[in-house]
Every structure is written in C-alpha cells, then in structure tokens.
C-alpha cells in the first residue's frame, strides 16, 4: 500500500456513486465498481466498499452541502438489483495493515457523522431505502440516516454479522447507534448482533432496527412519499444557487512537503514531525453576502478549511510515521477575525456563511480526532485569532513566544479570541474547546470571553490559561526542541491511547462513544489473533474453514 491516497475527487471521477437531483430531493445510488478498489488483491463485490468508495461518498455529502443547497432530503439506495450493501470489503480488511484498518474506520465514521450533521444542522435529511441484503457496514450506512425503510419482500434484511462471521465488531458506529440512536433493547441487540442472517420484515420494525417496512410492490412509491415529507419538514431554500467546490490548488514537493494556496505542510522526517502553516487572508473580509457568494470556493475561510482538511487527511493516511503535527500561522490576525466576523454575522441569514462555519466545525473535529500529538507554536508574526485560535485549543499543548526575540523583526506573538471561540465550533462532546479546557474552572471561560477581540500577548494568554507555556528568547528554542525530542521517543501507541483519553473530558455523546469506546474495542480486536491471526476468522473468511479461537476470555 505504498501509493499515495488522494482524498480529492469530483463527480467526473466517481466510479462507485451517482446522484440524481430532482429539486429538493436527491437520490444517491451506491453502485460500486467491483474492479475499482483502491488497492490490488480484492474485488468490491456485492456493493462492498473500501476507503476509495468512502472518499467518493464523503465528496458527495460535502458537495451536497455546498453545491446543492436546494436539496432537503437525500435518498440513499443501491444501484444494484439484489443487494443493498455488503459492508466493508472483507478481503481488503483481511489484508490491510492495522494502521490502515484503524484509519479506514475513522474516516468512514467521520463520513457517517456528516450524514447526521447534514440533517441536524442544514436540513438535509437522509433516508435509507433498503432493498436486498443490507449487512454490516451496509447497515451502518443505514443507521447513519435519519430514517430507514426496508422492503418487505421476504428476503431483504438488515444485519450486523461481523461478530459471528468475522470475529470483529461492527466498528463504524453500528453498536453505538443500535443502543444509543435507535435504542434497541439490549438483549434484542445481543440477538441481532450475533445473528448472521439478520432480521427482516415486521420484526425489524418491532425491534426498532428500521423505521418502516414497505410492501415490495409499493416500495418506490412509499420511498418517494417519505422523501417529499422529509423535504417539506425543512424550510425550503427556493432559488438558491450552490457554490462550486473547484479543485484545490495543491502541489506535492520534495520529501513530503505539500503546498496549498493558504496551507503549507513541511516534513522533518528524522524528527517524526510535520508542520502545518496556515495563512491569514491578504484580502479584506467580503463587503457583502453577494461578494461572499461571488468569491465562492476562493473565499479565504472556505479555501483554508478545504486545504487544511485535505492536509490532515493526507498526513493521517500517507504519513504514518510523523507522530507530531505542529501548527503555525502567519499573516494578519485582524483580517482573519474580520472574515470570521462576517460569517458569524450572516450565519442566520445566509446559507453559505452558515455552511462555511459548519464546515469549520467539522474540520476542527477532524483535528481533534487525529491521532498524532498536536502542538501549536504561537510564534512572532502568527495570527492565531478566532477560528485559527480554535486550532490552538484543539492541540494537546501550545507554546507561545514571550517578549523580544533577538533578530526577529516579526510582530510579537499575540492570540485573539472571537465569538467563534464560544459556540459555533463545538467538539464531539458538544462543549466548546474552551469549556472543555476549563471544565474545572468554568469562570475561566467567562474571563476569556470578556477579552474577545483583544490581541493577547504571552503574559495575558498565560494568565487566562489559553496556552500551556510561554517562553522567552532565552528558553524558547531549547524548550520546543526538548519537547519534540521527548515526544518522538515515546511509544506512538501510548500517545494514541493517552491523547484519546485526555482530549475528550466531560460529557459523552454518541460521537464520543463511537470514537472513544467503540473504536478502542475495535482496535483491540483488530489486533487479536482470533480475528487477524493466521487461523483467525478475518483471515480465514471465504476459505471454507472457520476460524480457530483461543477460548480464553479477556
């Protein structure tokens, strides 16, 4: 798997999905190209999927938000006759490295969450119309939708056969959505999740596994009726015009470097460090909503979000040995604040302003969930203001320059807060990053809020508890170097586990449970000989020989 995985695509390149747009209703057909796998060694039979299929799906969902704001309901269907979706491709899973399996599950989980976010935040609901077998990851796709209709043809079923069949978990949110979203009774959930053949017909409704069963002959009619109903529940967006998500300006350089228009990724391979430099806008904030729309994907906030998102995904999947990501910024902080302020001002009145902020929310969550040690270096000349400051709070640690630095002519480091730091970019735990940070001292959130808009120097930022450490000219270089060397010397796994636990204190949500509890158990099982050993169920699948298990219970 040495090739570079690219997260950029567009409809002209899709091999696995197609969309039919019809006013407020879009129909999304999953029609996986058997021979279109991302890697060699497996065929994507029966609408099974790999990361490549999911990259296209994520692109569809994202474009729906920006390019098709008129869509109020998305109907997810199979483009194949006899199967809805067989889930993640088992041969791919059987052959993939642990790192790839885990990263694959994380990305698919993030994509499933965008279904739910589209309904909750933008009034784009998802209906899943199930005909044929809907198994494992296929049913997890359905679970991520707002409503599930199952045809009652005597054979179509929903199932989570991972545990009995493959000795792994339904790890793309399945177990969590069964108990927490659909609230299936736990003993019925136990039966369901250990039944290979799944559940069909009326029992699927009685057990809360689907919302409705439709007589097969009336399936299309009922699906269409529900789609209209869901579309009508969301306020119509008549006459809106979407914004094209044009191709990113991206160049891959020497030795891992990646340049975008506003984002620079630098790599120090020997140190295991990637540095992401973010640039503030050169241009002034849009003068009007019309100007925001005219700028479209070229506008600073949207462009930066897309580039940063791509950079993070690239590092996650293609640069496994870079254990530390440093965030730096440069440019005009007040301009960054002005751009964000414009979006915040118009988020109730303009769908695009709102969508850009919601996208930032998703990108920041993607950072939270990136299992690398994250550190912000708030240096002279930086512009961590508002939404950029939010990245500082997403980091495991932050270091800030304090006072004069010999020979450094850049403006002294400051940090600035905006209204953005107090609401719109909530984490998976549904708290803001500052609320999370100050769980033990809620008054500190108020104290910070009182200083919005002010450029805070290292002393002020330290006093407010906004950065971990501030160092002056004498200590800065050594302290940062020692930290990076030390971090590089630790076990990457211990850091992954530690960070996963420390980043999300406080309340839990379905999302934190999926990424914290379910993912951790899945990761554990993905290491177990009973699943991935030579005689494990995942390895043996399809060989006609069942897995052989070490029967000791852990």
Closest distance of CB 149 from its own copies, Å: 19
Closest distance of CB 390 from its own copies, Å: 14
The radius of gyration computed from the CA coordinates of the chain, to the nearest angstrom, equals 24
In whole angstroms, give the CA distance from residue 428 to residue 432.
9
Closest distance of CB 156 from its own copies, Å: 23
Residue 199 DSSP code: B
Please, which residue, 194 or 288, has the CB nearer to its own copies?
194
Please, which residue, 109 or 436, has the CB nearer to its own copies?
436
Per DSSP, the residues of 519-539 read HHHHHHHTT-HHHHSTTSHHH
Closest distance of CB 207 from its own copies, Å: 10
Is residue 398 within 8 A of residue 378, CB to CB? The reply is: yes
Element of type H or E holding 254: none
Please, which residue, 414 or 436, has the CB nearer to its own copies?
436
Count the neighbouring beta carbons within 10 Å of the beta carbon of residue 82. 12
Phi, psi (degrees; rounded to nearest 5) at 375: -140, 135
Please, which residue, 298 or 527, has the CB nearer to its own copies?
527
Is residue 358 within 8 A of residue 117, CB to CB? The reply is: yes
Please, which residue, 182 or 228, has the CB nearer to its own copies?
182
In whole angstroms, give the CA distance from residue 364 to residue 311.
13
Angle between helices 98-122 and 51-67 (to 10 degrees): 20
Please, which residue, 19 or 520, has the CB nearer to its own copies?
520
Is residue 404 packed enough to be buried (19+ CB in 10 Å), middle (13-18) or exposed (0-12)? exposed
Q: Taking Cα atoms as reference points, which of 29, 76, 30, 66 lies closest to residue 227?
A: 76
Closest distance of CB 105 from its own copies, Å: 11
Is residue 142 within 8 A of residue 160, CB to CB? The reply is: no
Please, which residue, 292 or 324, has the CB nearer to its own copies?
324
In whole angstroms, give the CA distance from residue 234 to residue 439.
35
Per DSSP, the residues of 208-252 read TSSSEEEEGGGHHHHHHHHHHHHHHHSPP-TT------PPP-EEE
Closest distance of CB 32 from its own copies, Å: 26
Is residue 389 within 8 A of residue 411, CB to CB? The reply is: no
SS3 content of the chain, % helix, strand, coil (to 5): 45, 15, 40
Please, which residue, 119 or 272, has the CB nearer to its own copies?
272
Is residue 165 within 8 A of residue 193, CB to CB? The reply is: no
Token pair of 385, please?
């203001």
Per DSSP, the residues of 465-529 read T-SSEEEETTTHHHHHHHHHHHHHHS-HHHHHHHHHHHS--S---HHHHIIIIIHHHHHHHTT-H
Please, which residue, 174 or 242, has the CB nearer to its own copies?
174
Please, which residue, 1 or 224, has the CB nearer to its own copies?
1
In whole angstroms, give the CA distance from residue 78 to residue 63.
20
Q: Which residues of 37-75 are buried (b: 16+ CB within 10 A; e: fewer)?
A: bbbeebebebbbbbbbbbbbbbbbbbbbbbbbbbbbbbb
Please, which residue, 238 or 270, has the CB nearer to its own copies?
270
Please, which residue, 18 or 182, has the CB nearer to its own copies?
182
Closest distance of CB 197 from its own copies, Å: 12
């Amino acid at each position: 798997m040495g090739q570079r995985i690219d997260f950029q695509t567009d409809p002209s390149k899709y091999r696995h999905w197609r969309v039919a747009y019809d006013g407020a209703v879009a129909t999304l057909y999953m029609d996986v190209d058997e021979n279109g796998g991302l890697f060699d060694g497996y065929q994507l039979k029966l609408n099974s999927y790999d990361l490549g299929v999911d990259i296209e799906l994520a692109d569809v969902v994202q474009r729906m938000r920006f390019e098709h704001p008129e869509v109020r309901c998305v109907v997810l269907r199979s483009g194949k006759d006899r199967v809805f979706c067989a889930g993640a491709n088992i041969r791919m899973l059987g052959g993939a490295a642990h790192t790839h399996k885990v990263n694959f599950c994380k990305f698919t989980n993030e994509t499933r969450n965008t279904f739910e976010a589209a309904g909750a935040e933008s009034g784009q609901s998802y209906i899943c119309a199930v005909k044929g077998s809907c198994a494992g990851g296929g049913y997890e796709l359905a679970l991520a939708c707002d409503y599930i209709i199952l045809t009652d043809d005597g054979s179509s079923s929903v199932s989570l056969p991972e545990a009995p069949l493959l000795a792994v978990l339904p790890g793309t949110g399945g177990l969590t959505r069964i108990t927490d979203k659909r609230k299936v009774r736990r003993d019925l959930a136990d039966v369901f999740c250990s039944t290979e053949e799944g559940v069909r017909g009326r029992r699927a409704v009685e057990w809360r596994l689907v919302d409705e069963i439709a007589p097969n002959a009336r399936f299309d009619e009922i699906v269409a009726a529900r789609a209209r109903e869901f579309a009508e529940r969301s306020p119509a967006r008549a006459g809106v015009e979407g914004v094209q998500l044009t191709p990113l300006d991206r160049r891959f350089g020497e030795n891992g470097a990646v340049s975008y228009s506003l984002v620079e990724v630098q790599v120090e391979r020997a140190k295991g460090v990637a540095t992401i430099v973010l640039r503030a806008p050169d241009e002034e904030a849009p003068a009007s909503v019309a100007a925001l729309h005219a700028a479209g994907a070229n506008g600073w906030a949207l462009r930066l979000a897309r580039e940063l998102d791509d950079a993070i995904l690239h590092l996650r999947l293609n640069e496994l040995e870079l254990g530390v990501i440093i965030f730096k910024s440069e440019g005009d902080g007040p301009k960054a604040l002005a751009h964000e302020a414009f979006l915040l001002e118009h988020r109730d009145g303009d769908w695009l302003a709102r969508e850009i902020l919601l996208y930032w929310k998703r990108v920041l969550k993607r950072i939270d969930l990136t299992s690398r040690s994250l550190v912000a270096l708030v240096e002279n000349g930086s512009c961590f203001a508002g939404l950029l400051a939010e990245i500082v709070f997403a980091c495991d640690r932050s270091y800030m320059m304090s006072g004069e630095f010999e020979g450094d002519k850049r403006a002294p480091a400051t940090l600035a807060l905006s209204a953005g730091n107090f609401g719109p970019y909530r984490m998976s735990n549904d708290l803001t990053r500052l609320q999370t940070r100050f769980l033990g001292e809620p008054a500190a959130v108020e104290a910070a809020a009182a200083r919005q808009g002010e450029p805070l120097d290292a002393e002020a930022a330290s006093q407010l508890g906004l950065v971990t450490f501030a160092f002056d000219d004498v200590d800065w270089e050594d302290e940062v170097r020692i930290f990076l060397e030390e971090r590089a010397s630790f076990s990457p796994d211990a850091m992954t586990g530690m960070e996963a636990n420390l980043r999300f204190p406080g309340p839990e949500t379905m999302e934190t449970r999926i990424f914290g509890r379910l993912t951790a158990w899945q990761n554990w099982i993905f290491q177990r000989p009973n699943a991935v050993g030579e005689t494990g169920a995942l390895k043996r699948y399809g060989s006609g020989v069942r897995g052989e298990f070490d029967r000791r219970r852990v």
